Structure 1
Amino acid sequence: MLNSKAKLTALGTYVPERILTNADLEKLVDTSDEWIVQRTGMRERRIAAEDQYVSDLCIQAVTRMINLYNVNINEVDMIIVATSTPDYYFPSTASRIQAHFKISDTGSMDVSAACAGFTYGLHLANGLITGGLHRKVLVVGAETLSKITDYTDRTTCVLFGDGAGAALVEYDENEGSFLTADIGTYGQGGVHLYRAGLSDYLDGEKLQTNGFLVQNGREVYKWAVRSVPAGVERLLEQAGMKNEDLDWFVPHSANLRMIESICERGAIPLEKTLTSVEFYGNTSAASIPLALQCGLDDGRLRYGQRVLLYGFGGGLTYAGLLLKWSVPDL
């Protein structure tokens, strides 16, 4: 068990206004609503405007968090943004958030852990606060995947959407949110999910260098369905808990069929799982906070419940966190 001194105190999310439906995708590629729903469980995705970038989505999510929970972010002393689609190579997206809100005396950094980015960010925030280095950390997971999606590729263009989620993590001497963590990497599988950068090769394999996201869905699926249930088991064992002790399981919303397989193999009831996949698609680092927001909006997720978050994706990386939910009920 972690001796955590860090507590989640607020959450805010944002998705762009434009909706891309399965019917819209039927006009772009050889696909159908029936085919997409059957294989992914997705019906809609949100798409950023042409002049809307990931920092814009982050700012909107943070603003919503401030308005919902009446929190003051002027004392934030570290900003962590998890994204694979930053506005720039540098300056960091986190520094753009600092500039917008004019937060003084704060550090800022971006984290590149793809779909595990939000849970990696929370894990870092817990470590920084529990270790005594910081007292209030802003963690944001956000993506504009539509800007790196090839809309002529029917295997990937049906999957991805845009969104952002922000969480405030604060020092608390008496009640930390973080119970256990499970963090790891399978770098040998990196070639199965990538966006090429300065190098044209990865582990000797020639990459597609057109700037679009590339995914070998079959290989990623096999890895996730094998790895995530094992990680969940490790987390629960560390905490001395069983599956039935969980209130909610919140995996990365990659694909509903993948989540169903993970739940089946891990013996977790699907009805105890929060997802954002049906109406937002795969939003990578934003998918877990969006799923949490869905649970908050309909009253399922409540203060004091035991929640297991599990991010997994490009790297291939994974990060699972078992939390006592500490965001106040509204």
Structure 2
Amino acid sequence: MTAAVVVGVGASLPQRVVTNAELAGYLDTSDEWIRSRTGIGARRWVDPGVSTGDLATRAGELALRSAGVGRVDAVVVATTTPDRLCPATAPEVATRLGLTGISAHDVNAVCTGFLYGLSSAVGLIAAGNAESVLMIGAETFSTIIDPKDRGTAVIFADGAGALVLRAGAPDEPGAVGPLVLGSDGGLADLIQIPAGGSRQRSSGAAAEPEDYYFRMRGREVYRHAVERMASSAMQALGRAGLTMSDIDKFVPHQANARISAAVGERLGLQERQTVSNVECVGNTAAASIGILLAEATAAGGIRAGQRLLLTAFGGGLTWGATTLVWPEVTAHIAAPPRAAIAAAS
């Protein structure tokens, strides 16, 4: 059976570093409050005029460079913040990468978007519709959060992470294992933007300005996130014929530090097994796992030959998980220098 094999990884983060101190200057919050509840010390927000497509294009370019290829057969962009409601962002990203004419489409599963996008890429390869796919998770959440909402403004951030996948064998390093995906639309209102879609527009009712911003019912989301991330991770292990003792590194969606810790504890993992960058990057939604893979690879936190467990949870509600043995790959990253981040913090 044909598998989708990871052969390249890249990430792009905005240059602007937004510290907790900056947010505390106009929100009823503090560095201690933010860190104690989220584990976040700083995040990246785009400068005016920079779009999701800009970050996606840069991350895709770097992933292609990492893979040592100039062309793929398809581009998938997972995002909650497309450049426009219509058309999709992926075709323009493909053209900007010199890939006009290939298959290109968007996926929206909010924070589970990277795994849903990965599933789409795996499916294209398994069906024989593509020999290689560039899969990008990209977000500019700073454009949809209410700057006055302490519950979301301190958490969400911008960035893009990308993988290049090619057709290969299931036993190769980098081969993506069975993917477990799920959803529950009955809880769609826990994570939403109320206005701007066809439901609000067709109602004829005028929307309030704040209805165009992202909303999240944090306490309820926390409970569902921990349960769904842990259960889907166990299902993914079972489908791959693995147990938790086979896992070297746990790579969760960077929702916040408390959720990652709670899921890791429920799975019986040691703290040292969990990979994290939420303190310096924040929650970049569909981009978070891709950025984390790139940064951890570059920093040596993930090494070739290690078996990874990936899991995520997002609006929809949606959730998912998968496993893979990390390949020998060099990560390429465009991001603010760490020295600048430390100085800003």
TM-score, normalised to structure 1, is 0.93
Counterpart among 35, 43, 46 of residue 45 in structure 1: 43
Give aligned-pair identity as a percent: 36
Q: Corresponding residue for 1:10?
A: 8
The match for 2:68 among 62, 65, 71 is 71
Cα deviation digits, residues 299-322 of structure 1 (max 9, x gap): 121222211111210100012111
Q: Would the alpha carbon gap of residues 182 and 289 (structure 1) be closer, same or farther in structure 2, given more than 3 Å must change?
A: same
Helix, strand or coil at the partner of 2:164: strand
Task: Give ranges in structure 2 of 5+ residues lacking alignment.
Answer: 332-345
Give the structure 1 partner of residue 265 of structure 2: 264
Other structure's SS at 2:76 match: strand
Which of 174, 191, 211 is residue 193 of structure 1 equivalent to?
191
| Maintained 8 Å contact 2:140/2:157 | yes
Q: What displacement does 1:32 show?
A: 0.4
3-state SS of 1:210 partner = helix
In 2, Cα distance between the equivalents of 1:106 and 1:326?
26
Aligned partner of 1:105 in structure 2 is: 101
Cα distance between partner residues in 1 of 2:18 and 2:100:
38
Report what 1:289 is aligned to: 290
**Structure 2 Cα separation of the partners of residues 315 and 21 of structure 1:** 30
Question: Partner letter of residue 78 of structure 1?
Answer: A
Match of 1:92 in 2: 88
Q: 1:115 aligns with which of 107, 111, 116?
A: 111
Correspondences of 1:54-203 after superposition (within 5 Å): 54-67=52-65, 69=66, 71-74=68-71, 76-173=72-169, 175-176=171-172, 177-196=175-194, 197-200=197-200
CA drift of 1:66 comes to: 3.3
Is the Cα–Cα contact under 8 Å of residues 312 and 319 in structure 1 kept in the other structure? yes
- Change over 3 Å in CA distance of 1:138–1:66 after alignment to 2: closer
How far residue 175 of structure 1 moved from its aligned partner, in angstroms, is: 4.2
- Counterpart residue type for residue 47 of structure 2: A
Mapped contact 1:4–1:178 kept (Cα < 8 A): no
The answer to whether the 8 Å contact 1:80/1:111 transfers is yes
Q: CA deviation at 1:55?
A: 0.4
For residues 210 and 106 of structure 1, what CA distance do their matches in structure 2 show?
Answer: 36
For the 8 Å contact 1:275–1:288, the answer to whether it is kept is no
More displaced, 50-59 or 95-104?
Answer: 95-104
Computed over aligned residues only, the root mean square deviation of the Cα atoms, in angstroms, reads 1.8
Aligned AA (1:287): S
- Uncovered stretches (5+) of structure 1, i.e. residues with no partner: none
1:53-76 residue CA offsets vs partner (Å, 9 max, x unmatched)? 000001111222234x252232x1
The residue number in structure 2 matching 1:315 is: 316
SS at the partner of 1:156? helix
Aligned residues: 322
Q: CA deviation at 1:276?
A: 2.4
Alpha-carbon shift at residue 4 of structure 1 (Å): 4.4
Q: Residue 241 of structure 2 aligns with which residue?
A: 240
User: Are 2:9 and 2:330, in contact at CA under 8 Å, matched by a contact in 1?
Assistant: no
Look up the equivalent residue of 2:20 and give its one-letter code.
N
Q: Distance in 2 between matches of 1:84 and 1:30?
A: 27
Structure 1 CA distance for aligned equivalents of residues 233 and 164 of structure 2: 24
For 1:211 and 1:66, the matched residues in 2 are separated by 35
Instruction: Give, in angstroms, the shift of residue 294 of structure 1.
Output: 2.2
- Could you tell me how far apart the structure 2 residues matched to 1:71 and 1:91 are? 30
Q: How many angstroms apart in 2 are the aligned matches of 1:36 and 1:136?
A: 41
Structure 1 stretches (4+) deviating beyond 4 angstroms? 173-176, 206-209
What is the rounded CA distance, in whole Å, between the counterparts of 2:271 and 2:138 in structure 1? 25
AA aligned to 2:177 is: L
Paired residue secondary structure (2:150): coil
Q: Give the Cα separation in 1 of the matches to 2:101 and 2:171.
A: 26
Aligned residue type for 1:279 = C
TM-score (norm 2): 0.89
Contact 1:180 1:235 in 2 (8 A): yes
- In structure 1, what residue type is equivalent to 2:307? R
Distance 1:305 1:207, change over 3 A: farther
In 1, Cα distance between equivalents of 2:191 and 2:85:
19
Contact 2:233–2:310, Cα closer than 8 Å, also in 1: no
Structure 2 contact 141–156 (Cα < 8 Å) conserved = yes
Within 2, Cα distance between the matches of 1:310 and 1:233?
A: 10
SS of structure 1 residue aligned to 2:85: coil
Give me the whole-angstrom Cα distance separating, in 2, the residues matched to 1:70 and 1:264: 35
Secondary structure at the aligned position of 2:11 is classed as strand
Q: Distance in 1 between matches of 2:262 and 2:207?
A: 30
